[in-house]
Amino acid sequence: MSGLLARARSVPAAHASAAIATIDQAGFAPVQETVPSRPERLFLGFAFLVLQGAFVGMAGTQEAADASQADGGDIRHMVAFALVLIGTAIFARKHWRGMTALAGASLPYFILPAMILASTLWSVEPSLTLKRAVLTTGICAFDLYVAISIGLDRLLRMLSTTILISALASIVVAIAVPTIGREIVAGLTGDWRGVFPQKNALGHVMSVGVFVELAMMIRARRWLPGACIRTVLLIALVAMAHSASSLLSVTIALMITALYAAFRRGLTSALVCALAVAALLILIVGTVGGDPAAVFDVLDRDPSLTGRTDLWKYVLDAIRERPVSGWGYMAFWTPDGRNATYIQHQIGWPAPNAHDGYLELALSLGAIGLAGLAATALWTARRIIVALLQKHDLGALLLIASTQLLIANLTESFIISASVFGWNVFSILALKTGVLAPAMPKGTGSAALSLLDRAKARPAATVAMERP
């Protein structure tokens, strides 16, 4: 291992990107990282549980959870996230050079966080917006720290462990203490929420967990019995939560994983798998178009999507009132807000957000927020294409994570928030492409050296090699 690294470092700068590509194709992932100490590993485990939303908001009713989200969070959330930010400041000190370089190479990622902070200037609730904006941008710094300091495979193992803890705890609580572990709201009674504040949070985190298990098998190039068992367990929890969007995101993740695995086996396997997936999609679309009522019955949902369609009509009206800049980040749904209260009275239930990430972004940041999201999406798509062209697993992983996030936002507000686990996982992977992804291949329009090559020019930079 050390001999290979030494030979890689001795390669002239003109051939550096080619050397990185050769090493990567041989099964290595070049990462600027150090082995986390035991205190750092404990901190990261705690931070991942906090970002999942596990345990902190488990006690109380759905209404209490919604109110907590609307007014900026209760004291438990504030303390937990404060500890995450403090820990980030402590452990990220030794990585500040790499974090600075990675931030410079990933400027489009920071467009949305910058807009969130700027929205304090025009927010209808500037103090709440500022508090939420500082917290969200602070967690972006945590994601940057994780991306630069932890190897991809170690990261996946840590995510798998923490999600399994949440999953097992949710099973115990849902069975042993159903008044806490299950929903008691009319229309949702009996749906599992486990150690999470609500059922959709459980479904979302478990769907991300399915992605993590699939990612571990993609990296290992084989079926992993433990990962398969955990995948089945997590899918069962998504089903027990009755979270339709999470179940859809799991289905899409399985399809993309199958396509990628077939693609690696050869063109024939890829074509056969693609045809099978296309046939399945045609069957689903045909079923939905032919008898949508039957689909809603199977999913145990009503055509209004549990009141969402009624809510969206009023949200669109509110967006039209401030179409350019919006109402300010998370400023619309305050408990005593006149407009939010009016909408809640009209629809007959205390909606804590727009229940659609794209509408929520337009409500918070207006057209400029949607433009920022489009810029982030284009930046992400380019990184996915570069990694896929280089036959790097990270391209497929980022594609799956991005797709899951896009689907989840169809019926939930999961675009960008400190407490949205899927956004954190997406952010870490998107930022990590600046560390792991080799240079663009010839003919694609850019042959610049990777961030790793530029970092080698810094005397303080340290580089390690990690097998998948």
In this predicted structure, what is the pLDDT of residue 291? 52
State the SS3 of 175-199: HHCHHHHECCCCCCCCCECCCCCCH
Query: Phi, psi (5° rounding) for residue 30?
Result: -70, 125
Output the CA–CA distances (angstroms, integers) from residue 244 to 150, 279, 304, 361, in the order listed.
33, 21, 13, 22
Residue 187 has pLDDT above 80, yes or no: no
In this predicted structure, what is the pLDDT of residue 116? 94
Domain limits of the chain?
32-437
Average pLDDT over residues 422-447: 67
Residue 4 — very low, low, confident or very high, per pLDDT cuts 50/70/90? very low
In this predicted structure, what is the pLDDT of residue 391? 83
In this predicted structure, what is the pLDDT of residue 73? 57
The pTM assigned to this predicted structure is 0.81
In this predicted structure, what is the pLDDT of residue 439? 40
**Which tokens go with 27?**
């099964």
Please list, residue by residue across 362-372, b when 16 or more beta carbons sit within 10 angstroms of its beta carbon and e when fewer do: bbbbbebbeeb
Average pLDDT over residues 413-420: 79
Q: What percent of the chain has pLDDT over 90?
A: 49
In this predicted structure, what is the pLDDT of residue 443? 40
Flag the least confident range among 205-214, 244-253, 331-340.
331-340
Please list, residue by residue across 238-261, b when 16 or more beta carbons sit within 10 angstroms of its beta carbon and e when fewer do: bebbbbbbbbbbbbbbbbbbebbb
φ/ψ bin of 192: left (φ > 0), alpha (ψ from -120 to 50), beta (otherwise): beta
pLDDT digits (tens, 9 = 90+) for 257-315: 988 988 887 777 777 777 777 776 676 666 555 555 544 454 445 555 667 888 999 99
Residue 412 has pLDDT above 90, yes or no: no
In this predicted structure, what is the pLDDT of residue 67? 44
Q: Where are the alpha helices (DSSP H) in 53-151?
A: 62-70, 75-91, 96-105, 111-118, 126-149
Residue 417 — very low, low, confident or very high, per pLDDT cuts 50/70/90? confident
**Which tokens go with 157?**
């193992």
Flag the least confident range among 38-47, 187-196, 322-331, 450-459.
450-459
| Average of per-residue pLDDT values in the chain | 79
**Distance between CA 165 and CA 208 in Å, rounded?**
14
Please list, residue by residue across 126-157, b when 16 or more beta carbons sit within 10 angstroms of its beta carbon and e when fewer do: eebbbbbbebbbbbbbbbbbbbbbbbbbbbbe
**Distance between CA 314 and CA 336 in Å, rounded?**
17
Query: Which DSSP symbol is given to 464?
Result: E
